[in-house]
Structure 1
């Protein structure tokens, strides 16, 4: 009986357990005065492998993913798809979100990318006039790249990377959120 009640609570969204990585991202955002709503898990169970959530950050619609470190290639792998009406997976579009948050944790390092949808659209990652991608690689600043293409990708992505105790974190949030309401710290 008690176990059934716990399962019912999880199904109804009470006491939903968010990943530790998401909690760290939320804390980083809130430390910088950016409001974050409780996330809603993607309805597709395959999204759970990447902590696929949708949420509001600074009053804007966002998608959240945790990137996965892969054993054979440097950088991290992240998905950016949705499954409309239980059909085939398709790339996210710029209409789906304002910002894509991607957390990366590796060998004691932690940070997150705060990608504006328009930048991902211009890079061909989100669909909209172009096909878009179902996944892509992210290269945090601590990653030593192994190819010219990876180095070029890391260079444009670095603009959108934020870490705790980083002076660039506030600039990243401000540039992406623009005129989003910021909480006051007393």
Structure 2
């Protein structure tokens, strides 16, 4: 498993620094360390990073994001406690692929991932990178809303990197 600081160092050197983005205030989130969990600031935006886990029997990858509520129970983030962006880094075991989902807070609210007065939110979900081919209708629907926020990082195609920077800078 890739740790938060390993992932952050790699992305900082490959994407952030060369494109003039400044990373500050990085800290690991112990409760989500199994998923490379941590938070940082990128220029003026707050970012929560996770590394998705490949699951052998199901398409897509699994990722968690939760906090402890006031009574010490695991709870979904709310718009007030969520960062500006949720970044999920995905890998493919056999294809040598990697990429990032950069979800803005409003997309997470629209997809009922953040808790609101109307929805309990989610503490975990599956992500479906472009190289995955889900078969269930629900998984295909999930991939359809997720793909506009996904960038495949397998090559250094300038337009892909610029699109990724656009997702970060919003």
TM exceeding 0.5: yes
Partner of 1:137: 126
Q: Could you tell me how far apart the structure 2 residues matched to 1:173 and 1:160 are? A: 11
1:24 is paired with a residue whose SS is helix
Deviation at 1:18, TM superposition (A): 4.4
SS in 2 for 1:120: helix
Question: Structure 1 residue 87 and structure 2 residue 72: aligned?
Answer: yes
Q: What is the TM-score with the length of structure 1 in the denominator?
A: 0.77
4+ runs deviating over 4 angstroms: none
Matched ranges for 1:1-186 at <5 A: 18-26=4-12, 27-44=14-31, 47-84=32-69, 87-95=72-80, 96-107=82-93, 108-129=96-117, 130-164=119-153, 165-166=156-157, 167-178=159-170
Matched residue of 2:24: which SS? coil
Give the number of the structure whose alpha-carbon radius of gyration is greater. Answer: 1
CA RMSD of aligned residues (A): 2.0
Q: State the secondary structure of the residue aligned to 1:39.
A: strand
Distance 1:28 1:86 in 2: 39
- Count of aligned positions: 160
Residues 103-148 of structure 1 show CA distances to partners (whole Å, capped at 9, x for unaligned) of: 0111310111110011011100111222100100000001111222
Higher normalized strand content (fraction of residues): 2
